[in-house]
Structure 1
Amino acid sequence: MDARYAFRVRVRLEPARADVTLEPGSAETSITLFREAAEPGTEGWLFFRDTLWRGEVADEDYARRLAAEWLGVPERTVEAVDFRELQTDEAYFDALKAEIATDLEAFKAENVSEVLSKYLGSSIRVTDSTG
């Protein structure tokens, strides 16, 4: 069982020394960042519910703080974070749907499909392997 969240993060590079400068046009870079998805029902598995809405980052400031923490860079250097997709194998996806189904009320939804659409939109890619 394997799944991960994919984000596109735009960061601004800042020199560590005052005697070093960067050309403004070369000081930004975009990277794809992957964060492992916690196993459904375990601590952290509700990351999608607490962070995403309709397949987008729900709170930009919070997402920038998270990305800065994950990358080990100052928060001020993270300029944008975009959610790309949940990449999951079939076993994880089945377990996720089963866990959601146990408490639809917590998601204020009538069925699992509504929950997936509400938080992940169409940004789910089921593969044989996320590696």
Structure 2
Amino acid sequence: NDTYGHAGGDEVLRILANTLKQSVGNQGIVGRLGGEEFGIFLPSTDLEKGQQVAANICQTMRQVQMIVEGRSIGITLSIGGTLHAATTAIGHSLKIADRRLYKAKHAGRDQYDFGDEGQASQLLRG
């Protein structure tokens, strides 16, 4: 929004939402948490599959080119994710995913940090 205005920001959100929906298909649920943050819930997903989904989303977004004011711009994103145990409150899992998201952002963006609660953070490029 700061660089390309609200129309450009809104278009990025639409592109991201569509990419996320296509990436999870019928395997999960995508929802907007607020602002520019989205959540994905993938039932019965293991760590490897979660990391693969995150990597694929990053890669897909890197390939998107938007035309704004006659200029082509690329889109990247950062992802934080965790495995959710049925015995854990969803709010707790969201907090862990949010912490991992901020680690990915502060480490240079365009990457993901996805693991289970007890696993040390590991930043990965998709």
TM-score (norm 1): 0.29
TM-score (norm 2): 0.29
Flag the structure with larger Rg. Answer: 1
Higher relative contact order (CA 8 A, sep 6+): 1
